[in-house]
Structure formats: C-alpha cells, structure tokens
C-alpha cells in the first residue's frame, strides 16, 4: 500500500488495510514506511482498538522496516 501525503491529501485523511488473523497464535506484522518532509503526519497501526505502532513527523529520507507483534485475535489496521 502506498499513501501520498502531499496535495491533494488533507490532514485527517485515512487509509485502511485490514487483515483478520487466524486462530493459530500470535504473528508478526512486518512492513516498511517512508516518512520524509514537512507535510508528514502520523502513521498509526492498530490491532483491534489497540494502537501497536505509531510514528510522527519526518523520519529521514529512507525506507524503515518495522516489525509489530500481533495477537491472533486482533485485526490489523494501518492509518
């Protein structure tokens, strides 16, 4: 999934990627993010209603790998 943060995006825009895990135990969500520039807002990752990852503002002009443990009962949403 790719989300552009510059115009025509506006503050508060959201994108969702939903995944429903199996009942086979916990797993690891692995993804890369690139948050660079003045207009960068906040990236939140939720498992159900629990925020399991957050980054705000410019993180440098590079792709960064993130790994987040998720329980099998949680749904994952990226915002």
Scanning the structure block, which residue is given the tokens 């135990």? 25
Q: What is the pLDDT of residue 74?
A: 52
pLDDT recorded at residue 21: 58
Q: Retrieve residue 21's tokens.
A: 């895990």
Report the pLDDT value the prediction gives residue 59, as an integer from 0 to 100. Answer: 96
Distance CA 48, CA 61 (A): 30
pLDDT along the chain (79 residues), means of 10: 78 76 73 89 85 94 93 57
- What is the pLDDT, as a whole number, of residue 33? 93
């Amino acid at each position: 999934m790719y989300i552009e943060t510059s115009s025509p995006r506006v503050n508060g825009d959201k994108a969702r990627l939903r995944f429903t895990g199996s009942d086979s135990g916990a797993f690891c969500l692995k993804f890369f993010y690139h948050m660079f520039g003045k207009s960068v807002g906040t990236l939140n990752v939720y498992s159900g209603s629990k925020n399991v990852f957050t980054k705000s503002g410019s993180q440098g002009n590079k792709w960064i790998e993130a790994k987040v443990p998720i329980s099998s009962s949680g749904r994952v949403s990226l915002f």
